[in-house]
């Protein structure tokens, strides 16, 4: 027996309904394709590279920015390994396992900065990634890759400008610091020249007597020369003059070296650094900025371990904090019309896996309402022309981003402020 399929009118109605359903599906597909096309167009305009990989790190989709970064056509990207298309040239950990592969292995979010080389070109990349599981249960990952090469270059130029600004603001003080030892070196050399000239007269008289005995007639003139020269005094003072001159020349050399370290951009490479020596150099360089308003003392840990860091950058941080402390104390003294100088103290400590640098002052302290703004770029409490508001913002970036450390502060109104720098002893070189 055949099933009841209805009469001709029923069949016509069903066919008409089926046509409408098919048309609806086709329309939806067209709308979906149109939406996907628009999304692809929008994503292609994003400067950041966006990459979607499967659980093995094979690329399932990427936007046009990633094509440009790799320098390859989409045809040669899809289905290939992200870690092979984006080989990184950075720390040893990156060479052992690619950060993108590490994310898939450890199923932990990724946020790192690495260097990528393509031929003769090098790019600094900021890579963020997150693993997820699709509705079908498949593990995937999405990566956002930013080319920060230009940003790093601009930040380096800004740091250099801030360093030169610091040096420029202290140029007069540095000139004074150099002139003082140069002046007494010059005075000592003139004394030595005069003393040698006087002693030559004595030597010439003694040479005249060489080869023949000194008679009683010779002694009055010789004794007169010795008395006029004050031979005992000259012998002692010439040695002192030479020691003082050598000390003065050494002081000038140290000042010049400190200025060179601060003014020269240097290579942004980590190396083991003696922070105590860096701090002593900074205190010397900032002496003229501080000496009229504060006494600077140091309590440096004698067995402080060497710290992997970029020495020139940390010198800039120390200088900025010491000079800021001097300015704060100076402003406070003017407000109070007090002649008593303040105190700036620099300490270093070894605390397990970290070293700490404390820079404290007896200034007015920092008001509560500006605590949250203190490290913001271009924020400054100084009058126009005295500060750009970049110093503390740059210092925080140098400590926390470039050295993976911490920069914090404690303050009490009317009592002073203490800045604390914590730096890890072990990190990649």
Q: What are the structural domain ranges in the chain?
A: 46-147, 150-256, 266-429
CB 185 within 8 A of CB 242: no
Which CATH code for domain 266-429?
Answer: 3.30.565.10
Of 288 and 12, more confident? 288
Contact 316, 398 (CB under 8 A): yes
The whole-chain average pLDDT of the chain stands at: 77
Cα–Cα dist 151/185, whole Å: 47
Q: How far apart are CA 123 and CA 49, in angstroms?
A: 13
Torsion of CA 166, 167, 169, 173, to 10 degrees: 130
Banded model confidence at residue 367, pLDDT cuts 50, 70, 90: confident
- CB atoms under 10 Å from CB of 289, counted, come to 23
User: What is the model's pTM?
Assistant: 0.50
Spatial distance between the Cα atoms of 326 and 113, rounded to a whole number of angstroms: 36
Query: How open is the CA angle 66-126-393, to the nearest 5 degrees?
Result: 145
Strands 416-424 and 406-412, sheet pairing: antiparallel
Instruction: Tell me what percent of the residues of the chain surpass a pLDDT of 70.
Output: 71
pLDDT band at 5 (very low <50, low <70, confident <90, very high): very low
Question: What CATH number should be reported for the domain whose range is 46-147?
Answer: 3.30.450.20
Q: Please report the pLDDT score of residue 299 as a whole number.
A: 94
Provide the pLDDT for residue 1: 40
- Are the C-beta atoms of 188 and 241 separated by less than 8 Å? yes
What's the pLDDT tens digit per position in 248-269? Answer: 888 788 777 766 665 555 556 7
The structure tokens listed for 339 are: 């002649």
Q: Calculate ∠ Cα 309-313-316, nearest 5°.
A: 135
Q: Tell which wins on pLDDT, 82 or 107.
A: 82
pLDDT band at 137 (very low <50, low <70, confident <90, very high): confident
pLDDT tens column, 321-364? 998 899 889 887 876 666 678 999 999 999 889 999 999 999 88
Give 185's contacts (C-beta < 8 A, 6+ positions apart). Answer: 244, 245, 248, 249
Instruction: Render pLDDT for 27-62 as a digit per residue (tens, 0 to 9).
Output: 556 776 677 677 777 777 788 888 989 888 898 888
Does residue 20 surpass a pLDDT of 60?
A: no
Maximum Cα interatomic distance, the chain, rounded to a whole number of Å? 165
């Amino acid at each position: 027996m055949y099933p009841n399929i209805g009469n001709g009118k029923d069949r016509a109605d069903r066919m008409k309904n089926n046509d409408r359903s098919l048309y609806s599906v086709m329309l939806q597909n067209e709308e979906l394709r149109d939406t996907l096309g628009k999304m692809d167009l929008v994503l292609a305009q994003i400067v950041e590279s966006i990459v979607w990989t499967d659980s093995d790190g094979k690329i399932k989709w990427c936007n046009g920015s990633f094509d440009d970064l790799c320098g390859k056509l989409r045809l040669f990207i899809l289905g290939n390994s992200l870690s092979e298309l984006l080989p990184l040239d950075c720390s040893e950990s990156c060479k052992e396992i690619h950060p993108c592969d590490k994310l898939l292995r450890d199923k932990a979010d990724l946020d790192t900065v690495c260097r990528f080389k393509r031929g003769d070109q090098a790019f600094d990349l900021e890579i963020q990634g997150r693993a997820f599981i699709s509705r079908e249960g498949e593990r995937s990952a999405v990566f956002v890759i930013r080319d920060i090469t230009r940003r790093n270059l601009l930040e380096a130029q800004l740091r250099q400008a801030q360093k030169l600004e610091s040096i420029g603001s202290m140029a007069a003080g540095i000139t004074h610091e150099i002139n003082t030892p140069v002046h007494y070196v010059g005075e000592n050399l003139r004394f030595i020249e005069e003393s040698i000239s006087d002693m030559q007269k004595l030597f010439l008289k003694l040479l005249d007597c060489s080869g023949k005995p000194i008679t009683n007639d010779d002694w009055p003139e010789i004794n007169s020369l010795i008395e006029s020269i004050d031979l005992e005094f000259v012998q002692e003072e010439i040695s002192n003059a030479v020691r003082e001159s050598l000390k003065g020349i050494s002081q000038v050399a140290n000042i010049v070296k400190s200025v060179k370290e601060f003014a020269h951009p240097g290579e942004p490479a980590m190396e083991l650094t003696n922070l105590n020596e860096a701090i002593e150099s900074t205190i010397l360089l900032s002496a003229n900025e501080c000496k009229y308003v504060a006494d600077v003392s140091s309590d440096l840990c004698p067995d402080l371990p060497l710290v992997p860091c970029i020495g020139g950058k940390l010198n800039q941080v120390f200088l900025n904090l010491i000079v800021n402390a001097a300015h704060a104390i100076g402003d406070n003294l003017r407000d109070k019309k007090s002649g008593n100088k303040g105190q700036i103290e620099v300490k270093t400590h070894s605390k397990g896996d970290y070293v700490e640098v404390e820079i404290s002052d007896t200034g007015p302290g920092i008001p509560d309402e500006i605590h949250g703004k203190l490290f913001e770029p271009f924020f400054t409490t100084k009058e126009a022309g005295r500060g750009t508001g970049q110093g503390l913002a740059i210092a925080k970036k140098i400590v926390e981003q470039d050295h993976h450390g911490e920069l914090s502060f404690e303050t009490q109104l009317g009592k002073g402020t203490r800045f604390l720098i914590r730096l890890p002893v072990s990190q990649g070189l």
